[in-house]
Homo-oligomer: A and B are copies of this chain.
Amino acid sequence: MPSSASREITYREAVREAMVGAMRNDPEVFLMGEDVGVYGGAFGVSRGMVEEFGEDRVVDTPISEAGYVGLCTGAALMGMRPIAELQFSDFITHCMDQLVNQAAKIRYMFGGEGSVPMVVRTPGGAGTGAAAQHSQSLEAWFVHVPGLKVVMPSTPYDAKGLLLSAIDDQNTVLFYEHKLLYNRKEEVPDEPYRVPIGEARVSREGEDVTIATAGLMHHYALEAADALSGKGVEAEVVDLRTLSPMDHGSIARSVEKTGRLVVVEEDVKTAGWGAEVISRIVEGESFYALDRAPARVAAADVPIPYNRSLETYIRPTPEKVVDAVQSLLDARVGVYA
């Protein structure tokens, strides 16, 4: 961590600070999305930015996700550094062609002669009562698409550092924020700094079980780890921070030590990115280090329901993480949470 001055700011402010810093520094960086201007974005992330940078660099768009993500793809191909915001990550269904068939593949299809240095920022996740079309966690789709990078910071510090790295990156980076993280505060340096894309972080050390996670779930994992500690179980928590490229090495090292693995992810369990974490671990030498079947704590395989108690019922919670770890230790296989 750089030694410069720092103060407590929110995750929202950290994201904004990264954008503002990058835009002051490089006239080719711009932000484009629905209501990012005077409204400040649906979650207030860009509040105040249009006042500083003007409507040509903080650009309100019509409701045309394919169009403006396509535009940003083209601008990036021309060497600009667009940041596109999707108001809710569920709307990414509208610009899949631009992201998957164009942005992700252009470099490869063109034999390396061209690249698309674009960042697509978007808030994912549930827990806000916004129901099935405004609560999804679809990041696993993009982990499955070569040519894209996928970042999902869990803290203000990482949000700022990873966003600056994403803007620098020569490739298209999907930057997943979380509605329930925006108000989270932490000390963050004033100065710009980079958190490297593709490096996980061990945020808590422990001997008994490895919990691999990312995003909001990282905090649930830490809560669970505290609760487990009270019961004599010490969990090691690995915050992936980047889902693609995935730093499975860090998880493997932890698993070699603990011999147990629980993945905590917010997306629906079946074919989520947690399955990739598990697969990478069991495919390698770490398979032989595991003395228990690994387990996933994830959302149930259902759309997100509106009612608050139904929503809680199907989402991962710290309690479910505790339960999963305990059944792993007590019985031989985890609960299917």
The interface centre, meaning the residue of A105, A270, A284, A285 with most chain B CB atoms within 10 A of its CB, is: A270
A141: Cβ under 8 A from any B Cβ: yes
Give Cα A94–Cα B144 distance, bound, in whole angstroms. Answer: 17
Query: Which of A36-44, A52-60, A228-236, A292-300 forms part of the interface with chain B?
Result: A292-300
Q: How far is the CB of A60 from chain B (nearest CB, A)?
A: 22
Query: Which of A9-17, A118-126, A275-283 forms part of the interface with chain B?
Result: A275-283
14 A–B contact pairs at CB < 8 A?
A93-B101, A101-B133, A105-B303, A143-B270, A146-B302, A147-B303, A246-B270, A271-B273, A274-B279, A275-B276, A275-B278, A284-B293, A285-B293, A287-B293
A332: Cβ under 8 A from any B Cβ: yes
In the complex, what residues of B have CB within 8 A of residue A215's CB? none
Q: Is the CB of B144 within 8 A of A132?
A: no
With contacts A146-B302, A275-B271, A278-B279 known, is A105 near B133, CB below 8 A? yes
Q: How far is the CB of A116 from chain B (nearest CB, A)?
A: 13
Q: Which 6 A-B pairs have the closest CB atoms?
A: A287-B293, A93-B96, A275-B275, A144-B271, A93-B97, A275-B279
Q: How far is the CB of A229 from chain B (nearest CB, A)?
A: 25
- With CB as the reference atom, state the residue of chain B lying closest to A139: B271
In the complex, what residues of B have CB within 8 A of residue A141's CB? 141, 144
Q: How far is the CB of A161 from chain B (nearest CB, A)?
A: 24
Q: Is the CB of B146 within 8 A of A303?
A: yes
- Interface extent on A, as a size class? 35 or more
Give Cα A246–Cα B296 distance, bound, in whole angstroms. Answer: 17
A75: Cβ under 8 A from any B Cβ: no
Within 8 A of B (CB), among A64-88: none
Known: A93-B96, A93-B101; 18 extra A-B contacts, CB below 8 A, are A92-B96, A108-B303, A109-B133, A138-B144, A143-B271, A144-B268, A146-B270, A244-B271, A274-B279, A275-B279, A278-B282, A279-B294, A283-B295, A285-B333, A287-B290, A287-B292, A287-B294, A288-B293
Give Cα A96–Cα B302 distance, bound, in whole angstroms. Answer: 17
In the complex, what residues of B have CB within 8 A of residue A303's CB? 104-105, 108-109, 146-147
Q: How far is the CB of A233 from chain B (nearest CB, A)?
A: 19
Give Cα A275–Cα B146 distance, bound, in whole angstroms. Answer: 16
A301: Cβ under 8 A from any B Cβ: yes
In the complex, what residues of B have CB within 8 A of residue A143's CB? 270-271
